[in-house]
Chain A
Amino acid sequence: MLWQLFFVFLKIGCISFGGGYAIIALIQREVVGAGWMEGQQFQELVALAGMAPGSIATNTATLIGYSQMGIPGAAMATIGIILPSLLIVILFASIFLRLQGNSWVRASFYGLRPIITGLIMYAAIHFAAGGTNRSLLNWSTLGMVIICAGCLLAVLKFKIHPFAVILLSAVAGIVLF
Chain B
Amino acid sequence: MNVQHRAYMHTLAQLFVVFLKLGPSTFGGGYAMITAIERETVDKKHWLQPGEVGDMVSVAGSAPGGVAVNSAAFVGYRLAGVPGAVTAVIGIILPTFVIVFALSIFGAIFKDVPKVEAALKGVHAAVVALIIVAAYKVGKTSIFDASTLVIAGLSVLVLLFTTLNTIYLILGGPVLGMAVIAAKRALGMAALTEKEAQDNRLEINVPEYYI
Contacts and interface: CB of A to CB of B under 8 A. Distances in A.
A115 B155 contact: yes
A58 B64 CA distance: 12
A20 B66 contact: yes
B13 interface: no
> In the complex, which of the residues A14, A97, A120, A150 has the most CB atoms of chain B within 10 Å of its own CB atom?
A120
A28 interface: no
Contacts of B175: 108, 111
Interface string A11-47: 0011111111010000000000000000000000001
Contacts of A120: 31, 34, 57, 131, 134-135, 138-139
A55 B29 contact: yes
A157 to B, nearest CB: 7
| Interface size class of chain A, counting residues whose CB lies under 8 Å from the partner chain | 35 or more
A162 B59 contact: no
Contact of A53 (B25, B73, B117, B167): B25
B9 interface: no
- Bin the interface of chain B by size: 35 or more
Interface in B39-87: 39, 54-55, 57-70, 73-74, 77-78, 82, 85-86
Given A19-B66, A55-B69, A177 B77 contact: no
B63 A163 contact: no
Contact of B100 (A59, A114, A121): A59
A74 interface: yes
Main SS of chain A's interface residues? helix
Nearest to B158: A118
Contacts of B124: 127, 130-131, 144
Given A90-B85, A151-B126, A84 B64 contact: yes
Q: Is the interface of B mostly helix, strand, loop or mixed?
A: helix
B93 interface: yes
Contacts of B31: 119-120, 123-124
B151 A144 contact: no
Contact of A114 (B24, B104, B127, B152): B152
A85 B66 contact: yes
B179 to A, nearest CB: 8
| Top 9 A-B pairs, shortest CB-CB distance | A111-B177, A173-B122, A85-B65, A118-B155, A108-B174, A113-B142, A55-B66, A151-B129, A54-B96
Interface of B: 23-32, 34-36, 39, 54-55, 57-70, 73-74, 77-78, 82, 85-86, 89, 93, 95-97, 99-101, 103-104, 107, 111, 115, 117-136, 138-139, 141-143, 148-149, 151-156, 158-160, 165-167, 169-170, 172-182, 193-194, 208-209, 211
18 contacts: A17-B167, A18-B167, A48-B103, A54-B26, A54-B29, A55-B65, A82-B69, A89-B65, A92-B63, A103-B181, A111-B151, A115-B176, A120-B134, A122-B160, A127-B127, A155-B35, A170-B123, A174-B122
